[in-house]
Chains A and B, each alone.
Chain A
Amino acid sequence: MTTRAARLFLAVSAARLFVEPAAAGEIPLPERRSSYEFMSRETRAMQDDDTGNPGTLWVLDGEALWKRKAGAADRACSDCHGDARESMKAVAARYPAFDPARGRPVNLEQRINACRVGRQKAPALAYESKDLLALTAYVARQSRGLPIAIAIDGRTRPFLEAGRERFFRRQGQLNLACAQCHDDLWSGKLAGSPITQAHPTGYPLYRLEWQGLGSLERRLRGCLVGIRAEPYAYGAPEFVDLELYLMWRANGMKIETPAVRP
């Protein structure tokens, strides 16, 4: 390639990167595989059967909390949102979403807490608390079977880019980037466990390793500890940017909440 052609090529490539997040490294839609496909038949069966899926216990709790009045405003979620099966349909599929009040994207947990504090006038629910997990699971469950649909616009693009940069950045004592395993080495194995593509299609999910339900942030903290990096605090902007990128990277894949994973 001549220098001129090379420079032109680079200019065009660079321009594409600014105009629209290019597919550099992202797994093309037809090749996207849910972590469900990397599990054993038995674990898949555990997810598929609602009455045998322990995540259902949290979903049922969430349903009860949805209807329970709370806070100084003495209001239940249902008082404003009615039947979650209608009002929350497809909501989880587009989170994290931009929150104009904060000027940045927020995840589903933060959105629920914003309602708790702002509308119900109740204290925020702690991250990974039984109640927050139950409500998040109940809301996300209403998107089960629907495709993830993160729409990026001028407001959210910088946060998507920040999330992507984090996904590709080497971190921790082991100096590993998420992309190295989850873009380049998926379908391989790490010490006997399959390396998945790491799509957050089923959160909050019941993880056999936790013997309980947990959020995407809890799982990501596990990853960060695994590469010997300092895990970010729950709700940290670094996390939400990364969640936004991961969900966008999984666009088109179906929500599975409450999923079961090893």
Chain B
Amino acid sequence: MTTRREFLVLACGAASVAAATKVRAQIDPNQQALRKAAMQEALRRVVGDAPVRRGRVKLELPPLIDNGNSVPLSVAVESPMTPSDHVKAIHVFTEKNPLPDVVSAYLGPRAGRARMSIRVRLADTQTVLAIAQLSDGSFWSDSAEVVVTLSACLEEGLI
């Protein structure tokens, strides 16, 4: 069975794939559905039944990524970060990676600012979701769409 990466190695050097007007993800649709469900489940584990509101969170990712192996990601949440009103946790999820969880950061008033930067792996063109858990129990979110391309010539396993 030719894997997606093997196919791309064989195709390397041939005329580049005609640019589609819409960027399509490359993971098999059945797997996509499973992974999307996994993300919903991971989200439920963190949030429970509580509503998640859009806003107050800013998720920053480059829209077009050089290489999905290392993508700079930043999350910032509007919050005074006082003992009575602060961000307790920031969770990041993806919908197309093999696992939905990316990172969970736990802060408190001593952070000064609810802000974190990290480098992550993104398996495919997809939506990334950031959830902030506030001290009053509320949940806020932001999402970002990213386009991930693979290296033109893959050298899997070759050293």
A43 near B66: Cβ-Cβ < 8 Å: yes
A41 to B62, CA, bound (A): 9
Interface size class of B (residues with CB under 8 A): 20 to 34
Q: Does A191 lie within 8 Å of B12, measured CB to CB?
A: yes
Inter-subunit contact B13/A40 (CB<8 Å)? no
Contact check: which of B65, B152, B155 meets A40 at CB < 8 Å?
A: B65
Check: B67 CB closer than 8 A to any chain A CB.
yes
What is the minimal beta-carbon distance from B33 to any residue of chain A, in angstroms?
25
Question: If the complex has contacts A46-B72, A191-B12, A222-B155, are A208 and B149 also in contact, measured as CB distance less than 8 A?
Answer: no
Q: Is A209 an interface residue (CB 8 A)?
A: yes
Closest to B8 in A: A191
**Complexed CA–CA distance, A43 and B9 (Å):** 24
In the complex, residue of chain B having the shortest beta-carbon distance to the beta carbon of A188: B16
Q: Which residues of B contact A20 (CB under 8 A)?
A: none
Cβ contact within 8 Å between B153 and A225: yes
Whether A208 lies near B69 (C-beta < 8 A) is yes
**B151/A176 in contact, CB under 8 A:** no
Q: Which residues of B contact A189 (CB under 8 A)?
A: 16
Q: In chain A, what residue has the closest Cβ to B66?
A: A262
> Which residues on the B side are within 8 Å of A3 (C-beta)?
none
- Check if B17 is an interface residue, CB within 8 A of chain A: yes
B65 touches A226 (CB 8 A): no
| A interface residues (Cβ-Cβ under 8 A, vs B) | 39-43, 45-46, 128, 174, 176, 189-193, 208-209, 211, 218, 221-223, 225-228, 231, 262
10 A-B residue pairs with Cβ-Cβ distance under 8 Å, sorted by A, are A43-B67, A45-B72, A190-B153, A192-B152, A208-B67, A208-B70, A209-B154, A225-B158, A226-B152, A226-B153
